[in-house]
Every structure is written in structure tokens, then in C-alpha cells.
């Protein structure tokens, strides 16, 4: 009998097999996991160099599903390596051998409505009526835009949000879509963007980068309003050889594979620079990433510099932005000298290139020369928050039909 764990997670039909939930332990290695489940380590030899990188990406925050038979033997396991991709381990029929693959995570997105009447304070009233702390906290974040506007007893807050569900359980953070605040008989709408930030208008100001040729005879100050734009580049000369991707289609393998960082081509021994000031949170060998330095920057950011030939810092040390922390190398699973730069925000991999800026040392050094250089300029544009019309219509429809507030179970 061939069991499909993906199907079982949805159907709960078990044929004597059992589904267990498991959390990856901090510092646990994949080979320890295999050992704990009596799986032969020969499996490791069949994992390609590229795929073995992801074994270091297994994160204690995600739930792992295991399918076991009556005797507790592991039949299948789904082990997330990011929000969208997971390792799929499966035991072959009538064999002690296991297969390894990386596949997309299956989840569905549900929409919910809630209406809360203000009695004591918004937080406790919302929590009491929907029984979901995470949604309540995201609502508070979206309503920050109201700062300074007092709400009163009897005011109502109606809102729509979505929650991704994996195996019938909330998966990742909920997303507030739109909120209507009814205060003193007046209605106000709060439109919420992809980041969960609320706006009283349907437009917001967004930054974008323009690349162009420019005659550089002086150093130009690029105004940036957000702290995250203060990150610099990890190398003095930048050549990106592979971009970040949560899941990209590999035409030769005919499968999806993520790349949790940006690769920069550079010669062995090239100095690696801290992309921002921070505290060294790790310095040493880190599985297939080889010699690694991690820096904690505050505001939820942590950067990782992999495959180094030589590390120049120690755990706990404070570093400045641009300080040399190590040198480019080829340690761990790597096909040639390069820097793999990873960047986490609150424990999740994000694309480093979205926060790195090229304004640099380099531009001020070139001050005395007249030269044509590629330059990035930060510009601003007004963008419309997605689906405002549809969300507003939906919300009004829910309100008009006296839709019941969805209550989560404990």
C-alpha cells in the first residue's frame, strides 16, 4: 500500500498509519535526524551538492509532519526549508531505502470576517471575540495609522483577513486586508498593504531603484528614509552570479529548487565586508555552508556569509558597517570560490538584494576622476494598495448580511 502523506494530511484516513507533528531542534543536523529514525546515512550520498545546501536551512519555526506505521517506523516526512518549499522523505515499498526530494508546500488560503464592538480596549475585545492572538496583533499593527484618534465605548471595528492553512491548521501569519472603523457614527476605512501596514488612503508612497550611466565627478548623497536602506554591499566590487529565489523552476532537473541567498563571484581571499553594523552571532563551520559568519543587526535582520576561506571575527564581537569580517573561499559544498550571502528577517530568508544599496565607499573614492559608472538612484512613486475596491465591497457585503464573526478554537 502506497501512502500519500499529502493526501493523508487532508483526509485523515489512516489505514493504521499515524501522522505526528515534530519541531526541528535548534542545532540539530539532518544526519542526527536520520539516525533518530534508523534511516541509513547512505541516503546522504545520494543528495546532490546543490540540494545538500538546504539541509542547513531546516528551521525550528516550521512544523514537520511525519507519517509512521503501526510500529513507529517513518514512512514519510515533510520538512519545510522555507515558507514555500519542503524536503519530502519517503520510504520505498518493501525496502529500507528512502527517497529524498524537494517539493512545494501545499496550503490553502481562507478568508475570514470579524466585527468587534468596543467595550474595554480594542486588543482585549478583539481577542475575546475571535480567540486568535496572532490575528489580533496584526489588526493592532494595521490600526497604528489611527494613532491619535481616540476610539470610544460602542465603536465597532469590522475587518477581513486571510489565513493560510496547512493540514487544516493555521500556517504562517494572517494578513489583514481591510478594516472599517465606525466611530461616533462616522465610518473610516483602513487599507492594508502586503506588509500588514495600514493606510487611510488607497495610495501609498513606495521607493524604487533606477540604474543608469552617470558621469561621476563627486559623491552623491542618495536620500533614503528607511533604516533598511542603510545596508551596504558585502564586497567592494559586485558581480552577482546567482539570485535569490524561494522556488525556481529548474529546466534540466524538471523540479523546483530554492536559492536562499545571493551568490557573488570573487577571487579566493577577497575581503568580506559587514553589510551593516551589528554583533557576531556565529563564527565557524556551518554544515554545507562551510566557514560561516553570521551578524545580528537589530530590527530582526541577520546576515550570513558562507564558504569563507578564513574568518576574522569572533562570536560576541561588535562590528561596524564595512568592516572586514573574513575572506572569500570555497569551503563547504561549493563549486568554486564565491560568497553566498544569506539574509534573514525575523528568522526567515529574504532576498538580500532588496535591502542592499550600492551607494558606497566606491563612489566617494572616485571623487577626483571623471568616469561613467552605473549608479543606482532611489526614487519615489505613488502606488495603489492592491485590491482595495474588491476588499471594500466584500467587507460591506459581510457587514450588510450580518455575517457572524469567525471564532477560532483554542
Which residues would be at the binding site for Zn ion (CB under 5 A)?
A: 261, 263, 340
Name residue 199's beta-bridge partners: 191
Look up residue 33 and give its three cell numbers: 535526524
Q: Measured from the CB of residue 258, what is the shortest distance to Zn ion in angstroms?
A: 10
Could you tell me the CA-to-CA distances from 329 to 158, 277, 335 in Å, in that order? 55, 23, 11
**C-alpha–C-alpha distance, residues 6 and 13, integer Å:** 11
Q: Give the residue with the Cβ less far from Zn ion, 88 or 340.
A: 340
Q: Measured from the CB of residue 240, what is the shortest distance to Zn ion in angstroms?
A: 11
Q: Give the residue with the Cβ less far from Zn ion, 193 or 263.
A: 263
Q: Measured from the CB of residue 326, what is the shortest distance to Zn ion in angstroms?
A: 16
Q: Measured from the CB of residue 35, what is the shortest distance to Zn ion in angstroms?
A: 27
Q: Give the residue with the Cβ less far from Zn ion, 259 or 359.
A: 259
**Dihedral sign from CA coordinates of 221, 224, 230, 236:** negative
> H or E element: which one contains 163?
strand 156-166
Q: Give the residue with the Cβ less far from Zn ion, 122 or 350.
A: 350
CB of 132 within 8 A of CB of 405? no
Q: Give the residue with the Cβ less far from Zn ion, 304 or 313.
A: 304
Q: Measured from the CB of residue 334, what is the shortest distance to Zn ion in angstroms?
A: 8
Q: Measured from the CB of residue 241, what is the shortest distance to Zn ion in angstroms?
A: 9
Name residue 285's beta-bridge partners: 291
Name residue 22's beta-bridge partners: 64
The residue number whose beta carbon is nearest to Zn ion equals: 340
Q: Measured from the CB of residue 229, what is the shortest distance to Zn ion in angstroms?
A: 23
How long is the chain? 410
Q: Measured from the CB of residue 243, what is the shortest distance to Zn ion in angstroms?
A: 9
Could you tell me the CA-to-CA distances from 402 to 158, 185, 394 in Å, in that order? 11, 18, 13
Look up residue 83 and give its three cell numbers: 515558507
Look up residue 129 and give its three cell numbers: 471575540
Q: Give the residue with the Cβ less far from Zn ion, 261 or 352.
A: 261
Residue with cell 492553512: 165
HSE (side-chain half, CA atoms, 13 Å) at 214: 15
Q: Measured from the CB of residue 235, what is the shortest distance to Zn ion in angstroms?
A: 14
Q: What is the largest CA-CA distance in the chain?
A: 76
CB of 200 within 8 A of CB of 186? no
Q: Measured from the CB of residue 330, what is the shortest distance to Zn ion in angstroms?
A: 12
**C-alpha–C-alpha distance, residues 206 and 144, integer Å:** 19
**C-alpha–C-alpha distance, residues 213 and 5, integer Å:** 53
**C-alpha–C-alpha distance, residues 89 and 123, integer Å:** 42
CB of 320 within 8 A of CB of 262? no
The distance of Cα 314 from the centroid of its chain, to the nearest Å, equals: 27
CB of 290 within 8 A of CB of 283? no
Name residue 318's beta-bridge partners: 279
Amino acid at each position: 500500500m502506497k501512502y500519500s502523506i499529502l493526501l493523508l494530511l487532508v483526509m485523515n484516513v489512516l489505514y493504521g498509519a499515524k501522522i505526528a507533528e515534530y519541531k526541528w531542534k535548534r542545532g540539530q543536523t539532518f544526519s542526527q535526524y536520520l539516525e533518530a529514525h534508523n534511516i541509513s546515512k547512505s541516503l546522504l550520498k545520494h543528495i546532490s551538492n546543490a540540494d545538500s545546501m538546504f539541509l542547513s536551512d531546516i528551521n525550528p519555526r516550521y512544523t514537520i509532519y511525519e507519517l509512521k506505521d503501526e510500529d513507529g517506523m517513518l514512512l514519510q516526512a515533510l520538512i519545510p526549508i522555507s515558507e514555500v518549499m519542503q524536503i519530502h522523505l519517503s520510504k520505498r515499498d518493501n525496502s529500507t531505502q528512502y527517497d529524498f526530494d524537494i517539493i512545494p508546500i501545499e496550503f490553502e488560503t481562507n478568508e475570514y470576517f470579524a466585527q468587534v464592538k468596543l467595550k474595554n480596549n480594542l486588543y482585549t475585545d478583539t481577542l475575546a471575540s475571535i480567540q486568535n492572538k496572532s490575528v489580533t496583533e496584526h489588526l493592532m499593527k494595521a490600526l497604528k495609522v489611527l494613532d491619535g484618534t481616540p476610539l470610544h465605548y460602542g465603536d465597532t471595528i469590522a475587518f477581513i483577513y486571510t489565513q493560510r492553512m496547512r493540514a487544516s491548521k493555521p500556517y504562517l501569519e494572517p494578513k489583514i486586508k481591510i478594516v472599517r472603523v465606525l466611530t461616533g457614527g462616522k465610518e473610516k476605512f483602513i487599507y492594508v498593504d502586503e506588509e500588514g501596514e495600514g493606510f487611510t488612503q488607497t495610495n501609498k508612497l513606495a521607493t524604487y531603484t533606477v540604474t543608469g550611466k552617470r558621469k561621476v565627478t563627486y559623491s552623491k548623497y542618495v536620500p533614503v528614509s528607511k533604516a533598511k536602506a542603510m545596508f551596504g554591499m558585502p564586497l567592494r566590487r559586485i558581480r552577482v552570479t546567482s539570485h535569490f529565489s524561494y522556488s525556481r523552476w529548474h529546466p534540466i532537473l524538471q523540479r523546483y529548487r530554492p536559492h536562499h541567498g545571493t551568490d557573488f563571484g570573487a577571487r579566493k581571499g577577497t575581503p568580506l565586508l559587514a553589510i551593516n553594523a551589528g554583533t557576531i552571532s556565529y563564527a565557524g563551520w556551518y554544515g554545507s555552508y562551510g566557514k560561516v559568519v553570521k551578524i545580528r543587526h537589530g530590527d530582526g535582520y541577520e546576515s550570513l556569509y558562507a564558504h569563507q576561506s578564513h574568518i576574522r571575527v569572533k562570536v560576541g564581537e561588535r562590528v561596524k558597517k564595512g568592516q572586514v569580517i573574513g575572506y572569500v573561499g570555497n569551503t563547504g559544498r561549493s563549486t568554486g570560490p564565491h560568497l553566498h550571502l544569506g539574509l534573514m528577517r525575523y528568522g526567515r530568508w529574504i532576498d538580500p538584494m532588496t535591502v542592499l544599496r550600492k551607494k558606497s565607499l566606491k563612489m566617494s573614492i572616485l571623487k577626483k576622476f571623471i568616469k561613467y559608472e552605473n549608479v543606482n538612484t532611489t526614487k519615489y512613486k505613488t502606488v495603489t494598495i492592491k485590491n482595495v475596491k474588491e476588499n471594500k465591497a466584500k467587507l460591506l457585503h459581510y457587514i450588510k448580511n450580518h455575517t457572524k464573526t469567525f471564532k477560532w478554537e483554542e
